[in-house]
Amino acid sequence: MSLRKRRRFFLLLLTLFFLLIVVMVVSISVGSSEVGFWQTLRVLGHSTGLSDSPSTRVAEMIVLHIRLPRVMLAALVGAALAVAGGIYQALIRNPLGDPYILGVSSGAVLGSVIGLISGMGGNWLGTQLSAFIGAVVAIIIVYNVAKTGGRINTMKLVLAGVIVSAFFSGITMFLFSIATGSEVTNILFWMMGDLSTQSLSTVWRIAPLVLGIMGLLYLLSGELNLVMVSEENALQLGVNVERVKKGAFLLASLLTGAVVSVSGAIGFIGLIVPNMIRLLWGTDLRYHLPLTALSGAGFLVLSDTLARLVMTPTELPVGVITAAFGAPFFIYLLKQKVG
Amino acid sequence: MAPFLEAIEVSYRYKTPRWVIDGVSFSIEEGEFWGIIGPNGAGKTTLLNLLDGIILPQEGEIRLKEQALGDMSRREIARQVAILPQEVTFYFNFTALEVVLQGRAPFLGALRLEGDKDVEIARHSMAKTGSLQFADQSVTELSEGEKQRVLVARALTQQPRLLLLDEPTANLDLNYQVEVMELVKALSQQEGLTVVMASHDINLAAGYCDKLLLLKEGRVFCQGKPEAVLNQRVLTQVYECDLLVDKNPLTGSPRITLSSRVNCK
């Protein structure tokens, strides 16, 4: 990569970061209650020590404890799912890689639900762990079904994802039908992809996890570039392919499990964002991944804002919005790439 | 002195009981240009993969500068051995320069971040193979021949001591066939690069190789100088068809002409 392109990359990265902040602030300032843009800025400024004009307690409550966690969570979840999608695409050498399509999200949902129902509801680590196990089991099944003679077959991949997804969702539904208690309705809403019910402490809890895993994945990006051409290519150029592959599959699934356990299964971000970045910027993961993370964050914050606004005062699950964008895009990709 | 590259009683089979490579031995000196020839399914590509350590023989051993390939890490091997695969399908829109730069990977750190010097080596190799003009083009848009030249450039970017070529001219137009072969030959003669080329084009191998290894059904049928290996009796036996061996009027190397059953008088 030439110096000029590298400079353009850093400029773009900065621009995207700035845009993300703007989108987040705008998103915090809209909602069903009457706390507008300037009041939001005042609350944010006051709480960060930038301004000393205090606001009403109600406004502070709404901005800091209802909207802020939601928007921050949207950014984290969006970044995580987009990066996971980008990694899966590299690993299976197919633009259709996405945690939702590959059934990884459903696996994580099932894992979380098992965790919640079996009484680990109070213990977030237990839920997180079972979400992770669900995600990893799903990707192992789908990968092995779709692999024929060392190659990943697109048709089989999509089918395997659908089947595994359906199967895991079936088990999840079964667990619901035998479960009792008031928790069930909450879980049901969360399952459709919901960012509204989490507190700021959830954000602080998963932020280091999400950022840490993305950092580790970035360290693999140079070697993954070689795997993206072909596994044989990577071997010939001195990469320990098995180690890189297993590590990346595990980390991407862990990333998916980590965010699905708090936000539910939000689809198609992992499909739209990495493919868009590839079209607009290029394939080299060392540049692709950071751009994907920032764009994914922005994309989900925007989608969540839309979900709150389109049908006010009713809120839509954010998964509805991402699906509305994602499904047509999926069809477009499928038409592009056959084989 | 021990040879540069040595195969000692090497045997290999895939998951089937049949040995694809069966007790093959040879030794190659540094700077030599070897050709592996033989009919389809004789084991040419498998032998190249064994020489690159991508697969390890179940029996026997391959040594590069006295060190068994099985004892070396992938990275150690990749710093000395480059291979030009027979066919590479690209699924993503890497640019040609990005693909060529991957040849520097064995020499770089964890992120494989290239410096100016690496870019210079890559561009230089691309210029040599006539692929510099599509450096910024996506490899998925290139024709087979253009792709081949990019891949040759990548192999050169690895600056290997041993270059393995699998049907290097299969997708190339005549002028590029000559250009690529001349380039490899020059590297072999001027810089002492050792080359092993698998080819089904016997005339090409006869023209450029110092030594030939003729495989049949995984075994070495015979090996040696082209004039010794390429004679009518041997080739008729290996390929099971009628042919004529004479001298290429331009180079003096052996030339094979298939005799068609229809047109021969």
Q: Nearest 5°: CA angle at A33, between A296 and A26?
A: 35
Q: Which of B78, B91, B116 sits opposite A237 (nearest CB)?
A: B78
CB A185 within 8 A of CB A194: no
CB B15 within 8 A of CB B76: no
Task: Taking residues A157-178, report their average pLDDT.
Answer: 88
- In this complex, do B113 and A286 lie within 8 Å of one another by their Cβ atoms? yes
Half-sphere exposure of B118 (CA within 13 A, CB side): 22
Chain B residues near residue A219 by CB distance under 8 angstroms: 110-111
Q: State if pTM tops 0.90.
A: no
Which pLDDT band, with edges at 50, 70 and 90, does A185 fall under?
low
| pLDDT attached to residue B125 | 92
Q: What is the full DSSP assignment across A177-190?
A: HH--STHHHHHHHH
Q: Which of B83, B110, B119 sits opposite A2 (nearest CB)?
A: B119
Beta bridge partners, B166, equal B198
> B154: which 2 tokens?
């990548």
Task: Taking residues B38-65, report their average pLDDT.
Answer: 92
- For residues B206 and B258, give the distance between their C-alpha atoms in angstroms, rounded to a whole number: 15
CB B10 within 8 A of CB B26: no
Using the predicted structure, report yes or no on whether residue A122 has a pLDDT greater than 70.
no
Task: Taking residues A17-44, report their average pLDDT.
Answer: 84
Task: Taking residues B109-133, report their average pLDDT.
Answer: 89
DSSP letter at A34 equals S
Which pLDDT band, with edges at 50, 70 and 90, does B257 fall under?
confident
Chain B residues within 8 Å of chain A (Cβ atoms): 52, 54, 73-79, 82-83, 85, 88-95, 98-99, 102-103, 105-106, 108, 110-114, 116, 119, 158
Residue with the two structure tokens 């969006």: A78
- In this complex, do B78 and A238 lie within 8 Å of one another by their Cβ atoms? yes
CB A102 within 8 A of CB A158: no
In single-letter form, the type of residue at position B7 comes to A
| pLDDT attached to residue B93 | 86
- For residues B148 and B170, give the distance between their C-alpha atoms in angstroms, rounded to a whole number: 9
Least confident range from A136-140, B39-43, B245-249: namely: B245-249
| pLDDT attached to residue A337 | 55
Determine how β-strand B162-166 pairs with β-strand B194-198. parallel
Using the predicted structure, report yes or no on whether residue A220 has a pLDDT greater than 60.
yes
Q: Does any CB of chain B come closer than 8 Å to the CB of residue A58? A: no
Which pLDDT band, with edges at 50, 70 and 90, does A338 fall under?
very low
Using the predicted structure, report yes or no on whether residue B8 has a pLDDT greater than 90.
yes
Chain A residues near residue B56 by CB distance under 8 angstroms: none
- Residue A246 CB neighbour total at 10 angstroms: 10
Q: Which of A93, A232, A286 sits opposite B91 (nearest CB)?
A: A93
> B140: which 2 tokens?
């998925």
- In this complex, do A236 and B78 lie within 8 Å of one another by their Cβ atoms? yes
Return the residue of A nearest to B114 by Cα: A1
Distance from CA of A307 to the nearest CA of B (A): 33
- For residues A323 and A330, give the distance between their C-alpha atoms in angstroms, rounded to a whole number: 10
In single-letter form, the type of residue at position A281 comes to W
Q: Does any CB of chain B come closer than 8 Å to the CB of residue A194? A: no
Least confident range from A143-157, A274-288, B141-155, B216-230: namely: A143-157
